[in-house]
Chains A and B, each alone.
Chain A
Amino acid sequence: MNHFARQVGERIRLAREAKAMTQEAFAKALGQNNHQTVSAIETGLRQLQPSELTRACQILQQPLSFFTDPYVVTDSRAFSYRAKPDSKDIGAFERKAHSLISANRRFREMLDEPAAPFGQQLRGLTKQSPVYQATAVGERVYRALRLGDPPALRLRETIEAACKVMVLFVDAPQSISGAACHLPDGDFILINRTEASFRRHFDLGHEFFHILTWIEMPPERLDPELEGKEKPKVEKLADAFTAGLLMPYEVVSKRWQARQPNLDIHDAILETAKELRVSGKAMYWRLVNTSLLSKPEQDLVDPDKLSRPDDNDPSGRPNVFNAEFVRRLHAVLQRGLLSARKASELLDCDPDDLGSICADYGHPSPVCAPTLPTNAAAPC
């Protein structure tokens, strides 16, 4: 059975079921005698002829691309966004996210690479669990993954290597921090690379929680960035998990106790936050919840004085996407399995940007990069 036939078959079934049409009814409309033919089509055992495919488009009222375009993501409700509640960018961003995720899935198929298995789940944590339990789980995961000190710096590579979750850095609107995507053949985390580095770290931990708990606690499609009591319980658990993951007690207490004496309380909190690559507010709440910040010290803190600039991260803004994704992109372009124009459409860039995307990860340019000045008016 070839992949194209299986893909067309699966989508025929999806479109038929969406129209609440039986196999018998579809067979009849297609001019076939019995439903076994449709069954064979839907499982990819029998291939539709071009004229049958055109007819199927009419019967099922779908464009040809729905059946033939490998980049169409048909899995429904697979996303959860971390964004402002009133964000108007979700729709456009989802199309972009769809393109990237389906591109990666397709590249893997074309290169005949296996889907990433991912079975790790957080046992014992439920929606009813107290938030401190989520923090404790975060600390357990920190230790199990051997993230080191500070944990934020190795989080991304560890998630990718140990948990087989693909983390993609993307240019997203300011209203969107990131997204988690759970699909049967793999998990994805998309992070807005234009955000401050400490925010990216926190978003990554937060989305990682959703991936780990997707089955037990499926997140809402939109995870609004609300404060305090308004925040849904799963989101509170995700934040608490991230606090334990990025600011484990053993690391925070060691650094807090080693702080300079007589330092202003705000400066002390900000300094520790900087060392652990988290925000001032996140560090403040972690110190409060672990009782490392005494009650009299808490009374001295003005939350408005806890904001801080972005770190001068030695690695700077991360390259767009990630090494694995770009390796696959480069390979399918090199082998002529994907055209540069199609790639640029999927990645929302110009064809000549593909060269610099590949160069960021040490691959030679797979496309022609025009360097000549435009000379349309040259006499011929």
Chain B
Amino acid sequence: MPPRHAKVLVDTNAIQAAHRYGCWNALHKYFQLETAKHCIEEALRPNRKGKRLVDRNRDDLEKEILAHTVTDAQRAVLLHALQGRVDLDDGERDLLSIALTIKTDVWWLCGPDKATIFAMHLLGIIDRMCSLQALAETTGFKLAKPEMECTEKWLSSIRTQLLLHGQLI
């Protein structure tokens, strides 16, 4: 598990899940959370039914998380590495571009999505991924009835499938 003050990259799904479970404060105080500008925009955007999934303003959120601007050159490196094998949205793509740029000493908070895990596997950095449940527990926060996709057990099963078969079936 990442140590205290470690850099942890969080995508839109993870930002929203951490707020939903109420462990956001615990995470941003314990770790150095980083993301892409696109993820901040996506996380703050109401859904199509008009519901806000992260009820904060941008300024407050950006005080708690470092939001990177990503260049086309960084994106090109990622897209070249993935070779079109996984289709991601703009926020996920940008965050993975950052992950490739700062390869060492960075962790990735797993959002509940198989495609980002598969992409991490293809990039050879899947072992830097951690579940929301495990990360929250590192800070002393226990998730109440976590959805399956936020648990360490689920992440572990996906990781095992990828390591054994190279793909998800």
Instruction: List, in ascending order, chain A residues with CB within 8 A of B24's CB.
Output: 376, 380
B80's contact among A50, A340, A374, by CB below 8 Å, is which? A50
The listed residue with most A CB atoms (<10 A of its CB), out of B23, B77, B113, is B113
Task: Report Cα–Cα, A377/B19, bound state, in Å.
Answer: 8
A-B contact pairs, 8 of them (CB 8 A): A4-B85, A50-B77, A63-B72, A338-B87, A342-B89, A374-B19, A380-B24, A380-B26
* Closest chain B residue to A6, Cβ basis: B84
B99 at the A interface (CB under 8 A): no
Instruction: List, in ascending order, chain B residues with CB within 8 A of A3's CB.
Output: 84
B147 at the A interface (CB under 8 A): yes
A336 at the B interface (CB under 8 A): yes
In B57-82, which residues have CB < 8 Å from any A CB? 72-73, 75-77, 79-80
| CB-based contact B49/A350 at 8 Å | yes
Asked, given contacts A3-B84, A337-B118, whether A342 binds B92 with beta carbons under 8 Å apart, the answer is yes
Instruction: List, in ascending order, chain B residues with CB within 8 A of A106's CB.
Output: 87
Sort chain A's interface into a size bin: 35 or more
Asked, given contacts A4-B84, A380-B23, whether A64 binds B75 with beta carbons under 8 Å apart, the answer is yes
| CB-based contact B169/A335 at 8 Å | yes
In A345-380, which residues have CB < 8 Å from any B CB? 345, 348-353, 367-372, 374-380
Instruction: List, in ascending order, chain B residues with CB within 8 A of A374's CB.
Output: 19-20, 53, 55
B116 at the A interface (CB under 8 A): yes
A150 at the B interface (CB under 8 A): no
Q: What is the minimal beta-carbon distance from A212 to any residue of chain B, in angstroms?
A: 33
* Closest chain B residue to A64, Cβ basis: B72
| CB-based contact B72/A339 at 8 Å | no
Asked, given contacts A50-B77, A50-B80, A375-B21, whether A349 binds B150 with beta carbons under 8 Å apart, the answer is no
| CB-based contact A341/B42 at 8 Å | yes
Q: What is the minimal beta-carbon distance from A175 to any residue of chain B, in angstroms?
A: 20
Asked, given contacts A53-B80, A339-B89, A342-B89, whether A371 binds B147 with beta carbons under 8 Å apart, the answer is yes
Asked, given contacts A57-B72, A380-B29, whether A49 binds B21 with beta carbons under 8 Å apart, the answer is no
The listed residue with most B CB atoms (<10 A of its CB), out of A4, A334, A340, is A340
| SS class, residues of chain A in contact with chain B | loop
A83-105: contact bitstring with B at CB < 8 Å (1 yes, 0 no)? 00000000000000000000000
Interface size on B, residues (CB 8 A): 56
| CB-based contact B168/A335 at 8 Å | yes
Instruction: List, in ascending order, chain A residues with CB within 8 A of B53's CB.
Output: 374
A333 at the B interface (CB under 8 A): yes
Asked, given contacts A337-B118, A339-B89, A341-B12, whether A370 binds B84 with beta carbons under 8 Å apart, the answer is no
Task: Report Cα–Cα, A378/B76, bound state, in Å.
Answer: 40
* Closest chain B residue to A376, Cβ basis: B19
Q: What is the minimal beta-carbon distance from B165 to any residue of chain A, in angstroms?
A: 11
| CB-based contact B22/A50 at 8 Å | no
In A291-348, which residues have CB < 8 Å from any B CB? 332-342, 345, 348
| CB-based contact A368/B86 at 8 Å | no
Task: Report Cα–Cα, A291/B125, bound state, in Å.
Answer: 74
A74 at the B interface (CB under 8 A): no
* Closest chain B residue to A56, Cβ basis: B76
Asked, given contacts A106-B87, A350-B48, whether A372 binds B80 with beta carbons under 8 Å apart, the answer is no
In B85-105, which residues have CB < 8 Å from any A CB? 85-89, 91-92
Task: Report Cα–Cα, A52/B114, bound state, in Å.
Answer: 31
A70 at the B interface (CB under 8 A): yes
| CB-based contact B115/A339 at 8 Å | yes
In A39-89, which residues have CB < 8 Å from any B CB? 47-51, 53-54, 57, 63-64, 68, 70-71
Task: Report Cα–Cα, A338/B82, bound state, in Å.
Answer: 13
| CB-based contact B29/A7 at 8 Å | no
* Closest chain A residue to B158, Cβ basis: A336
| CB-based contact A64/B79 at 8 Å | yes
| CB-based contact B80/A337 at 8 Å | no
Asked, given contacts A3-B84, A50-B77, A368-B147, whether A376 binds B22 with beta carbons under 8 Å apart, the answer is yes
B157 at the A interface (CB under 8 A): no
